[in-house]
C-alpha cells in the first residue's frame, strides 16, 4: 500500500477568499450551477475566482465513468436541465466574462453524449455576451463523429479534449476511455477547422520519454495548445501520486514542446486544463 506523499513547497496555495471570490461563489450557488473548480477540487480556485473567472460544468455533477484520478463523483446522472444553458449564459453576462470555459461530466447514458446541450450553451452565451470567447472542454462522446459535429457547428473558439495521461496508464487511470479514440477526436476537430487543445497530468508513473511521445502524437494531429500539470490525489480512494514533478522538469517540457511546434504550452505544478485559458488563447494566436 502506497504511503501518501507530503506536498512539496511549490504546491502550497493560498486559501480562497476576497470579495470577487465571494461574488463568484454566490453567483454559482444562486444559479444552481456546477463548476469544475469545485467538483474537481482544483487548487487554483482561489486565484481564478478572485479574477472572476470560472469553468462551468454542465449536464449535472454525476459522471457515468469512474476514472481513478478524477474527483468528480461517479453515479446515476440527473435528467438534462433544459434551462441550464440560459443560466450559464446569464452567469457569464453577470460576471462580464471575456472568456468562458464550458465542460461537462461524461454522459454515456445520452444518445449524443450531451453534444446538443454543449451547442445550446454556446448559442446562449453568444446571445447574452456576444464578445465572449468560448472554450469547450468536451468528453470523447464514445468516438461519435456526429456528436462532435454538433458541437463544432456551434462554433466554439477552442475545442479542448484532454488525453490526461500516457497510453500505458489508461487501464489504471481511464479504464473506460481509449487513447487513440481521444487522439482521433482532436484530429477530426482540426480537420473541421477548430482550434484544438489538450492536457496531460504527470506524476502518475509515466516516464519522460512517454510524455514526449504523447506530445509528438498531439503535434502530428495538428493540436498546437497543450497544458501539463501535476496530478494530485483527490481522496485515498483515487490513484496515489507516484512522484511530485519538479518545476524545472515542467520548464524542460515546455521548452521541448515549443521547439516541436506547439503554439502555446502552459506547464507547471498547479496548471490545469482551463488555468489561464484566456491568456493561452491570446498567446497562441
Whole-angstrom distance, CA of residue 145 vs CA of residue 207: 32
In a domain, 178, yes or no: yes
pLDDT of 92 above 60: yes
* C-alpha–C-alpha distance, residues 157 and 132, integer Å: 10
Query: Minimum mean pLDDT among 96-110, 154-168, 255-269: which range?
Result: 96-110
User: Mean pLDDT for the chain?
Assistant: 85
Residue 283: count of CB within 10 angstroms of its CB: 13
Considering the chain, what percentage of its residues have pLDDT values greater than 70? 79
pLDDT tens digits for range 50-87: 555 668 889 987 777 676 666 667 777 889 999 999 99
C-alpha cell of residue 103: 465542460
> Does the residue 20 lie in any domain?
yes
The residue among 228, 218, 210, 211 whose CA lies nearest residue 262 is 218
Cα(97)–Cα(132) distance, integer angstroms: 6
Count the domains in the chain.
1
Interior/surface letters 205-244, b for 16+ CB within 10 angstroms, e for the rest = bbeeebbeebbebbeebebbbbbbbbbbbeeeebbebeeb
Task: Please choose, from the candidates 278, 275, 280, the residue with its C-alpha nearest in 3D space to the C-alpha of residue 44.
Answer: 275
Identify the band that residue 142 occupies on the pLDDT scale cut at 50, 70 and 90: very high
pLDDT in tens, 210-257: 999 999 999 999 999 999 999 988 778 888 999 999 999 999 999 999
Q: Is residue 3 part of a domain?
A: no
Q: Judge whether residue 36 has pLDDT over 80.
A: no
What helix, strand, coil percent values describe the chain, rounded to 5? 40, 15, 45
**67 assigned to some structural domain:** yes
Residue 244 lies in a domain: yes
Q: How far is CA 210 from the centre of its chain?
A: 21
| CA nearest neighbour of 88 among 132, 41, 34, 135 | 34
Looking at the domain assignment, is residue 133 inside a domain?
yes
Task: Please report, for the domain that includes residue 246, its CATH number.
Answer: 3.20.20.70
Instruction: Taking residues 125-140, report their average pLDDT.
Output: 95
* Model pLDDT, residue 249: 96
Find how far residue 57's CA is from the centre of its chain: 10
CB 209 within 8 A of CB 173: no
pLDDT for 113: 95
**pLDDT for the residue numbered 176:** 85
* 1 found inside a domain: no
In Å, how far are 42, 61, 86 from 38, measured between CA atoms?
Answer: 7, 10, 21
The answer as to whether 10 is a domain residue is no
Coil, helix or strand for 101?
strand
* Owning domain of residue 179: 15-284
Question: CB of 25 within 8 A of CB of 45?
Answer: no
In angstroms, the CA 95 to CA 21 distance is 11
Question: What's the pTM?
Answer: 0.86
Confidence of residue 18 (pLDDT cuts 50, 70, 90): low
* H-helix or E-strand spanning residue 136: strand 133-137
Amino acid at each position: 500500500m502506497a504511503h501518501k506523499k507530503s506536498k512539496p513547497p511549490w504546491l502550497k496555495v493560498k486559501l480562497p477568499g476576497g470579495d470577487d471570490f465571494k461574488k463568484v461563489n454566490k453567483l454559482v450557488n444562486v444559479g444552481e450551477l456546477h463548476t469544475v473548480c469545485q467538483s474537481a477540487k482544483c487548487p487554483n480556485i482561489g486565484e481564478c475566482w478572485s479574477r472572476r473567472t470560472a469553468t462551468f460544468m454542465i449536464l449535472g455533477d454525476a459522471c457515468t465513468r469512474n476514472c481513478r484520478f478524477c474527483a468528480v463523483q461517479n453515479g446515476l446522472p440527473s435528467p438534462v436541465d433544459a434551462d441550464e444553458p440560459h443560466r450559464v449564459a446569464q452567469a457569464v453576462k453577470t460576471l462580464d466574462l471575456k472568456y468562458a470555459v464550458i465542460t461537462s461530466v461524461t454522459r454515456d447514458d445520452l444518445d449524443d453524449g450531451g453534444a446538443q446541450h454543449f451547442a445550446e450553451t454556446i448559442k446562449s452565451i453568444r446571445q447574452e455576451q456576444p464578445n465572449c470567447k468560448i472554450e469547450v472542454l468536451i468528453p470523447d462522446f464514445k468516438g461519435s463523429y456526429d456528436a462532435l459535429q454538433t458541437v463544432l457547428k456551434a462554433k466554439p473558439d477552442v475545442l479542448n479534449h484532454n488525453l490526461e495521461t500516457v497510453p500505458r496508464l489508461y487501464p489504471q487511470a481511464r479504464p473506460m476511455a481509449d487513447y487513440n479514440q481521444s487522439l482521433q477526436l482532436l484530429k477530426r476537430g482540426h480537420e473541421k477547422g477548430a482550434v484544438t487543445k489538450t492536457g496531460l497530468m504527470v506524476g502518475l508513473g509515466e516516464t519522460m520519454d512517454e510524455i514526449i511521445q504523447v506530445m509528438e502524437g498531439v503535434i502530428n494531429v495538428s493540436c498546437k495548445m497543450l497544458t501539463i500539470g501535476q496530478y494530485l490525489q483527490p481522496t485515498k480512494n483515487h490513484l496515489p501520486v507516484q512522484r511530485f514533478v519538479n518545476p524545472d522538469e515542467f520548464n524542460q517540457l515546455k521548452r521541448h514542446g515549443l521547439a516541436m511546434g506547439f503554439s502555446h504550452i502552459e506547464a507547471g505544478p498547479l496548471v490545469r486544463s482551463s488555468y489561464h485559458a484566456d491568456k493561452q488563447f491570446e498567446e497562441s494566436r
